[in-house]
């Protein structure tokens, strides 16, 4: 353990970084969110364009949680033990960005359901390669008192990327006159061009972070190389991961339970929100012109909630400093849950912006506060692998939803997409109550 501690730069030796330095190290996260936001807003409609039924949607989303479950802890473990000309985390930023951009280009050209589902596996695995090291990068680069600011800046970047990406199909159709091809099984032209733009944005923003941010080297390179040699091999990777799961810090377990109830609310929204708006509020049938307009309008409201996210993210460090991180997160989750529940009483499309305000506030907190709550409880030499393990409690509920919610949709909810989204809101409120159990490091 002592050698592992020496292999990392001690926390007390890290200088405070300026606003623009934190901006630079977070900028690539905006591009990563282009990939996430495009798939969240468009994958369910793409599946329905390719003739999927509502009960098929959850299982078709299985790629996201399974790739996260497998890829993130392994990449975290490997990046903890990497040092080369690009540093510790930046090699993974680059590889993941290249693969993600390629997948984004091919995705909207899918000609069959199996092709779109397969490309989603590639896209999610590639995005996870980049995303997990970005979380650990905050702890690598910033002293403890700036962790909240670092994660809030990532929330800001995610919000900016999501605003643009979610609205792109609507903007291309209504501002730039892109004409969509008619036909129930044709992916609209506006969606294709949005994915192409997203590929460019993802690779260019990640390259910006790589070229503008220089990582700290291990404090003791000899100890670092010894740690790498002692932990080399596939069996050591899995032994380390499962050992760390058994020895997870207590406060991380509490925040993990919050995550376990938070993320189903988000998944159900991403699974069904866009089709629900088109079918339940616009009264359209899949494949019709009105359905396409409904999906584009849903994308516009998703863009709006991400606008709320990046604006609210600027104030989260101040609010958390006044009322604590956990109280901030609890209140934000309540607002997000109420926003999703309120969809059941909306019949006028413009009122969706009111509901999405609460969701945007919650999303800003979800992207920053859980990581800020656990960061100070993690061993500094294992930040990468623990951030990957923390992702388990995001993806496990999605796996459960992907495998089981299709049956619920077909046999209990009668394929009512809107009710599914409202169930997600109720789960988010439960997560808010669970935040009460968390103890911040400042309360020690």
What are the residue boundaries of the structural domains of the chain, listed by start?
Answer: 2-443
pLDDT beyond 60 at 48: yes
Determine the CATH number of domain 2-443.
Answer: 1.20.1250.20
| CA gap 256, 233 in Å, rounded | 28
Say how far residue 430 (Cα) sits from the centre of its chain.
20
Average pLDDT over residues 72-80: 81
- Determine the pLDDT at residue 443: 45
Of residues 113 and 338, which shows the higher confidence score? Answer: 338
- Determine the pLDDT at residue 1: 44
- Determine the pLDDT at residue 442: 47
| CA gap 137, 214 in Å, rounded | 11
Neighbouring C-alpha atoms within 13 Å toward the C-beta of 100: 35
- Determine the pLDDT at residue 258: 94
DSSP one-letter code for 351: G
Of residues 357 and 69, which shows the higher confidence score? Answer: 357
| CA gap 385, 240 in Å, rounded | 9
**284 by DSSP, 3-state: which?**
coil
Residues forming beta bridges with residue 87, ordered by sequence position: 84
pLDDT digits (tens, 9 = 90+) for 292-321: 888 889 888 988 887 888 788 888 888 988
pLDDT digits (tens, 9 = 90+) for 176-226: 888 776 554 577 888 889 999 999 999 999 999 999 998 888 777 777 777
**440 by DSSP, 3-state: which?**
coil
- The whole-model pTM stands at 0.71
- Cβ-contact 305, 161 below 8 angstroms: no
Which residues have a Cβ under 8 Å from the Cβ of 75 and sit 6 or more positions away?
92, 128, 129, 132, 133, 384, 388
- Name which of 119, 152, 125, 118 is nearest 138 in CA terms: 152
pLDDT digits (tens, 9 = 90+) for 348-391: 899 999 999 999 999 889 988 998 888 878 877 677 778 778 87
pLDDT beyond 80 at 418: yes
What angle is formed at CA 143 by the lines to CA 139 and CA 145, rounded to 5 degrees? 105
**178 by DSSP, 3-state: which?**
coil
Length of the chain: 444
| CA gap 378, 11 in Å, rounded | 12
- Determine the pLDDT at residue 241: 77
pLDDT digits (tens, 9 = 90+) for 85-130: 888 889 999 999 999 999 999 998 888 888 988 898 889 888 888 8
- Determine the pLDDT at residue 158: 80
Least confident of 102-106, 322-326, 426-430: 322-326
The tokens for 364 are 């800003």
Of residues 402 and 199, which shows the higher confidence score? Answer: 199
**87 by DSSP, 3-state: which?**
strand
Q: How would you classify residue 381: left for phi > 0, otherwise alpha for psi between -120 and 50, otherwise beta?
A: alpha
Residues forming beta bridges with residue 84, ordered by sequence position: 87
Neighbouring C-alpha atoms within 13 Å toward the C-beta of 170: 22
Average pLDDT over residues 232-249: 76
- Cβ-contact 430, 261 below 8 angstroms: yes
- Cβ-contact 48, 185 below 8 angstroms: no
Residue 421: pLDDT band (50, 70, 90) is very high
DSSP 185-204: T---HHHHHHHHHHHHHHHH
Average pLDDT over residues 236-245: 77
| CA gap 316, 327 in Å, rounded | 11
């Amino acid at each position: 353990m002592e050698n592992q501690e020496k292999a990392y730069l001690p926390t007390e030796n890290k200088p405070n970084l300026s606003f623009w330095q934190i901006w630079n190290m977070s900028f690539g996260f905006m591009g990563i969110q282009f990939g996430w936001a495009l798939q969240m807003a468009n994958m369910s409609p793409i599946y329905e364009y390719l003739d999927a039924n509502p009960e098929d949607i959850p299982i078709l989303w299985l790629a996201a949680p399974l790739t996260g479950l497998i890829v993130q802890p392994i990449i975290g473990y490997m990046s903890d033990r990497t040092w080369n000309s690009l540093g510790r985390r930046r090699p993974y930023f680059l590889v993941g960005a290249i693969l993600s951009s390629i997948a984004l280009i091919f995705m909207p050209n899918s000609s069959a359901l199996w092709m779109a589902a397969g490309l989603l596996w590639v896209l999610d695995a590639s995005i996870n390669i980049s995303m997990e090291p970005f979380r650990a990068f905050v702890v690598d680069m910033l002293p403890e008192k700036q962790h909240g600011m670092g994660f809030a800046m990532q929330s800001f970047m995610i919000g900016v990327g999501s605003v643009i990406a979610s609205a792109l199909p609507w903007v291309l159709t209504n501002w730039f006159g892109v004409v969509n091809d008619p036909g129930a099984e044709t992916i609209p032209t506006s969606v294709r061009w949005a994915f192409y733009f997203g590929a460019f944005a993802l690779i260019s923003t990640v390259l910006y972070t790589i070229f503008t941010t220089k990582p700290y080297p291990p404090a003791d390179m000899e100890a670092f190389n010894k740690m790498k040699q002692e932990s080399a091999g596939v069996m050591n990777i899995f032994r380390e991961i499962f050992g760390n799961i058994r020895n997870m810090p207590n406060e991380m377990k509490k925040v993990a339970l919050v995550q376990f109830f938070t993320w189903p609310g988000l998944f159900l929204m991403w699974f069904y929100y866009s089709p629900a708006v088109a079918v339940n509020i616009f009264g359209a049938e899949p494949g019709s012109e009105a359905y396409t307009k409904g999906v584009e309008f849903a994308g516009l409201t998703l863009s709006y909630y991400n606008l709320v996210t990046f604006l609210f993210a600027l104030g989260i460090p101040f609010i958390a400093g006044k009322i604590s991180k956990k109280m901030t997160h609890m209140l934000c989750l309540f607002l997000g849950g109420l926003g999703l529940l309120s969809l059941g009483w909306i019949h006028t499309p413009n009122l969706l912006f009111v509901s999405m305000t609460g969701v945007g506030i919650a999303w800003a907190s979800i992207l920053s506060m859980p990581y800020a709550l656990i960061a100070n409880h993690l061993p500094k030499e294992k930040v990468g692998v623990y951030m990957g393990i923390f992702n388990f409690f995001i993806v496990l509920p999605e796996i459960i939803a992907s495998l089981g919610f299709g049956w619920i949709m077909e046999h209990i909810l009668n394929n009512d997409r809107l009710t599914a989204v409202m169930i997600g809101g109720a789960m988010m409120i439960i997560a808010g109550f669970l935040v009460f159990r968390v103890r911040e490091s400042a309360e020690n």
